[in-house]
Structures are given as structure tokens and as C-alpha cells.
Amino acid sequence: MKRYFFSFLFLLLGVCAVVAQPAPYVWNTPSSNSSESMPLGGGDIGMNVWVEDGDILFYLSRTGTYDENNTLLKQGRFRVSTTPSIFNDPADFKQTLHLNDGYMTIAGTNGEVMLWVDVFHPVVHVEAKTESPSALHVTYENWRVQDRPIRKVEGQQCSYKWALPKEIATTRDSICADGEYITFFHQNAEQTVFDVSVKQQGLEAVKDKMYNPLKNLTFGGRLSGAQLQFKESLNGVYADTDYTAWLYESKKAKRNHDFKIVLHTQQGSVDDWKQSLADMELEVKANKDRVAARRWWNEFWKRSFIEGGGEEGADVVRNYTLFRYMLGCNAYGKDPSKFNGGLFTFDPTYVDAKMPFTPDFRRWGGGTMTAQNQRLVYWPMLKSGDFDMMKSQFDFYNRLLLTAELRSRIYWGHDGACYTEQLENYGLPNPAEYGFKRPESFDKGIEYNAWLEYQWDTVLEFCQMILDTKRYNDEDITPYLPMIESVVQFFDQHYRLLASQRGRKDLDGDGKLIIYPGTACETYKMAHNPVTTIEALRSVLRSSGLNSEMLERIPQSPLRYVDGKQMIAPALSWERVNNIETPQLYPVFPWRSYGVGRPSLETAINTYQYDPDALKFRTHVGWKQDNIWAACLGLTDEAKKLTLKKMSNGPHRFPAFWGPGYDWTPDLNWGGSGMIGMQEMLMQEVDDKIYLFPAWPAHWDVRFKLHAAHKTTVEVTLKDGKITQLEVFPKEREKDIINYLETINK
């Protein structure tokens, strides 16, 4: 399939500009089940769309739709068909994702159905055109028509995980099938996992001050069409899940049919939710909204792109584009795209046959935001120029600031914001990870968990991302500065407190912080001066300029020798190795103390090539970052090898549905780490210099546009190992460009 095409727009004075557009992605045969679905979305809505046995089916998801147990519930499954069928000849089938315009068409001998999502309003539109007058059939299918008990392993979908209370269930939805439309919604039960967590973690005295996104939350929507009427309700089973269906049919046969699904999420009463939903329906202007949505997608693809890759790298380049599209489907959600499936999970039995659960299932929770994983979804948005899409992740942390500060004040009596690694959407540690069975005397601020204890430095990566949006795009980050200042304040006050509890002095003999007990990721536990925390604090303090006095107290990053070779150490010392991460390479990425064009490159390369744990833990799977480190260190062959593995076609029909890896399918931190690695292969920044192709194979012809600091964009074409086109904006930054291919060939 041709990967990309160019449209030539003739401008004034006869000047010809070449605008890159992603080619439509096409299937020429129907699918077997939901695992062979194609993603579609916009704004904060995601759909899995597939054609099975002559019916168009789609799951509908939206960010923020968390139930009382913090499961991210789908809005339901929808089924569309016509009589006579559009798809009576398999040879004429064509399902097309029109990436450049952000919509989908599904065509057959007798007509075509178009599906699109409004980027600026939570509305899904379905429009059918048939060759001859036809009847339209639309079915809404729901598997939550009664309280559904949550089975043991199924608890992974919610915040209770493996610590399920007795008789816990997903409570039923409310569904009203009227003559011309159907309304469906879920209202959370009075007690939620928020209430359980607050009591468990000894914070009831400040409960009313804490952010609670689950209280009185109602979400759902309405399906309506001017010519639809209710016919009957049915029962059935799809995959492993029984459901009830409400079938609507057109009142008469026509050549043109359309219907819409308007979604709404709101905290408050059901009556208020219904009124707001009705008001939103009145605002829908399909023709105007379609134009605005397509314009948004057109501009999205103009921001940045990677195309080409030659014969060997064509698939990884295409999959980069398809995955970036998936991220664009949640550009404006209140909550960030979740690493463990995002908006595009499907029936879990097709991921793991041992998990015959409902379509709402995913591993590692719905409202649980695991920072080590989430960060990889959002780091690539800097170079792709998707700054507006980063806001949901930044706001997630910012609205939890008071809760993070209350934890520090209640537990330890000092200032600063304490954000944990496994963080619920209400700001507290995941209750299962926190531990229901913990010694009474154990510090209530610490998770009773061998993997997560003392891990609270990953929030610093999001602080750095915020600072980088200022450096890249001159974003106004004023609303986030109190959070950043509070985060670094926590480390200063907390570790000085712990030192003073052990002895007379709160700093070491050189006047530096003593970061103990600490942890280098989830791997090197009970660590002294972990390199991840040191590098993170130093970088954020330097970038922000918020606390120069504290910057002087940050200790040096630890080094060590293995077989006579100097390497970066994970920490000065540690008591055990608990996971399979490689924090000794975090000074390369994300903290960029080492790399191409930077001092002590040999030390970092030694760490990558010879550190025994780095070698033992190396792989391309999931959230693994070896491809990124290889690129940052200029190890072209290694970066190429790992990228071909990481960004090759996933195990499902849509090639960017990777996973499950260590998490779930589609694995967004798998795709995010792949994006970062490819960007670093193409372009890196050192101070004010921009290195081109520091780890890109010279024989992979490519054209790309990426963003750099100071509102800079770089557009380059590489052909037969030579740069044939270079456009830098603003033009004065051309002087900062370094062609690394020429450097290594000298």
C-alpha cells in the first residue's frame, strides 16, 4: 500500500508548496471480531469500529467515565446495518480511515457509511448513503443492565485490583428507550472507592478539602435520529459477555440516513445531567461541526510528520503516524490518555483467553495513573508540536496539588507536595498498592509495597515537561509553577527531616541532601542517593530557577566501575533489585546529562553496553526505553534494530494496537516510547544546537518535520544519505543546525 501522498497547493505568485498528508489507511475485507477493529475518534472520544457478518459494530469510549469502583466504563456497543445490505459482495468491501480529515468510511456494492467524531463537542455522527432506498437498523447493546459482580482477576479493571471487597459489583446503568431515541447513563453509587481510600489512609479529617471526581458522577448519552423508531429489545452474547439490545429501525426506506450519539458527563443530580444533555443536543450543527473537525485534523497533520523510511523502515514510519492519530483522538479530554489501552480497548478474551471478562476490562485500573507509564505517552508530544494535547496530563497533577500537600502535612508535618507513583485520579495512592493489610506502626505516608515504597520522584518528569513547553512554544505555565515549587520543596523538607531523625545533622558532610530511603524506579530499592531522583531534581531546579539555594544541596550523581569501565550507577547503594528497569540510563533520557554532543559520552555508552543489569533487562517490549537510549547515544545500528522490533506491526489487525506487553492492549506506553526513539534518531538538541540524523540509518530515505526549542520547526528530506531539502523556522536558527551524518563521516 502506498504509504503517503503529496498534495500540491499553488500559492500566490506561482510559488508551489508541498504539504505532507497521511495516506488513508484501508482494509479490503471485513473483520472477524472486535480485536480486528479500527480506531476512530476526536476531542475526547474513542471508537473501535469493525464490520462482522454484514453488520457495522463499534464500541464507544470517553475519558472521565469512571464508576464508583474507578473502572473506566465504555458507553456501550452499537450495531448498524441496512436492508438490503450494503455489503452483499465481499469483493467490493472497503473500510477506510481518512487520517488527514479524521473520519472513516465503510463502503460496499450498495452504498457507503461515514462515521466521524466532532472534535469540539462530544458527538458521534453516522451517515449512510445507499444506491437504492433502504431500511436502516441501529442497535444499542449494553452488558450492564443489572448489577454485575466483579470476579477475582477481573478486579484489575478497577482501583481495588486484587483486594476486592466482598460482594463488590459494577452497578447497573439506566436505559430509557423512547419512540425516537434511547437515553443511557450510569450514576455512581453513593459510596465510592474514594471514600474507602480516605478512611484506609487516615485522612478523614481533611476529606472535604480533597478533590473527588467520583462523587455523584453521571455519564452516558443519547442516540437519536429524525427517522428512527424503537422496534424491540433483544438478548444476546458477544465474545464472553451477555447483553441486552434495543433495536431501532428507520420509519421508511430511503437512500440517505443519519443518526447521532451525544455524550455528557457531569457531577450532580440525574435531572441536571438530563437537562444539560438536552441543551447540548440543541447545539449540534452537523454541517458546521464537520467542517471544524476536519479543519482541526488538517492542522494536526501540518504540525509535524515523519514519512518515508525506505523499504526497510516503511512500516515503522506508518505505525508512528497511526499511533499519533490515536493520541490525537484524546486531544482535549479532561483526563489524560491512559497508558493501558487508552480509549481503544476491546473484549479481553482476544488479548488473553484466560480473561473472559466484559469489554470494560483492562489491567492496571481505570482511574489509576501509573506515572512511569503515563510519561512515555506525553514526552513525544514536545517534538511533534502537540502542546495543546499535553494540558490534560498537566492539569491532572495540578488539580491534585492540595491533596498531595495534605499528605505531607498530615503524615510528616512539613510542606511540599507528595505525589506517589501509582496515583488515583483523586490524588491518593492506589488502595490495593497502599495495602489493606499493613502493620499498625507502619508510616501511613508510605505504601506498604515492595515495588512502590518511597517512589515519588516520577512527578518531576511532568514538571520538566511543563517547563519544556515554555522552552519549546513559549507556553504560559504560570498556573503550574506553584505545583512545581511544591514538588521540589517536598524532597528538600522530607529528606532533611528523615536525616534529622537519624542523627544530629540534616545534611551530609558536604552540605548535600541525603536521599535515603529512596528508590531508583521500582527496581533498586531502599537506595541511597538514587540517580533518578538526583538527576530529576537538578534538571527541574535548573530549568525553573525556582530555588537556587536548594540546587546547591543536590548531591552528585553516582558513578561506579565494572570490569575497569566507568559507568553511571543506579544509586550509591541499594538493598535489593525488585523489577527490571534500567534507571542508571535515566541520566541519558529523560534527563539528558549524557548523549550525543554532551560530555562523558563514553561513560553512558559503557553503561548501555556493559552494565550487567542493563544487558539482562534489555528488550523492546512495552515501556522499555532501550531504543530511546540507543538513539540518544548515537548507536545507530542498535537504535535501528530495537525500533524495527518495537514499531513493527502489533499482534492485531490494526498495526498500532501493540501489547499487552507489561500492561494491556493497545499499549500506549509501547507506542509512546517508540515515537520518542524515532524522534531522537532523527533530531536531538544540545544547548542551542540541533543535531540532524544522530542515529538514523543513512539508507532510510525520510522526510520529517519536528519541533525544537524556541518555537523552532525543522523540516528535512534525506535522500540516498544526503540532505536534499532543509527548511528551518525561524530562518535565523539555520546556523544552529549540525548534520550529524557529515560529522561521523569525517
pLDDT in tens, 124-147: 999 999 999 999 999 999 999 999
Which long-range contacts (C-beta less than 8 Å, at least 24 apart) are formed by 399-402?
399/211, 400/211, 400/426, 400/427, 401/482, 401/483, 401/486, 402/209, 402/210, 402/211
- 3 or 76, which is more confident: 76
What pLDDT is attached to residue 743?
Answer: 78
CA pair distance 128, 626, nearest whole angstrom: 47
**What phi and psi, each to the nearest 5 degrees, are found at residue 508?**
-80, -175
pTM value is 0.96
Q: Which three cell numbers stand for residue 468?
A: 519544556
Residue type, position 641, single letter:
K
What is the helix (H) or strand (E) element at residue 416, kind and residue range?
none
CB-CB neighbours of 334 under 10 Å: 17
| Cα–Cα distance measured from residue 255 to residue 86, given in angstroms and rounded to the nearest whole number | 11
Domain boundaries, the chain: 24-303
Count of positions (residues) in the chain: 746
Q: For 706-720, what is each residue's pLDDT tens digit?
A: 999 999 999 999 999
Grid cell of 670 as nine digits? 509501547
pLDDT digits (tens, 9 = 90+) for 266-302: 999 999 999 999 999 999 999 999 999 999 999 999 9
Q: Are strands 111-117 and 123-142 parallel, antiparallel or unpaired?
A: antiparallel
pLDDT digit string, tens, across residues 495-535? 999 999 999 999 999 999 999 999 999 999 999 999 999 99
- pLDDT of res. 96: 98
Confidence at residue 476, expressed as pLDDT on a 0 to 100 scale: 98
The CA angle 300-305-311, to the nearest 5 degrees, is 145
Amino acid at position 383, single letter = K
Q: Can you give the pLDDT at residue 14? A: 33
> Residue 539: phi, psi to the nearest 5?
-65, -45
Is residue 1 scored above 80 in pLDDT?
no
Q: What is the mean pLDDT of residues 624-652?
A: 98
What does the alpha-carbon distance between residue 200 and residue 104 come to, in Å, rounded to a whole number?
47
- Distance of alpha carbon 150 from alpha carbon 723, whole angstroms: 58
Pull the grid cell for residue 690. Answer: 540541533
Q: How confident is the model at residue 9 (pLDDT cuts 50, 70, 90)?
A: very low
CB atoms within 10 A of CB 112: 16
Q: Which of 351, 409, 445, 456 is nearest to 666 (CA)?
A: 351
- Helix/strand number for the chain, H first, E second: 18, 33
CA 137 to chain centre: 34
- Looking at residue 16, its pLDDT comes to 39
pLDDT band at 19 (very low <50, low <70, confident <90, very high): low
- Identify the pLDDT of residue 220: 98
Q: Which three cell numbers stand for residue 527?
A: 537506595
Please name the CATH architecture into which domain 24-303 falls: Distorted Sandwich (2.70)
For the chain, the C-alpha Rg in angstroms (whole number) is 26
The label of the residue with cell 469502583 reads: 69
| Position 88 confidence tier, pLDDT thresholds 50, 70, 90 | confident
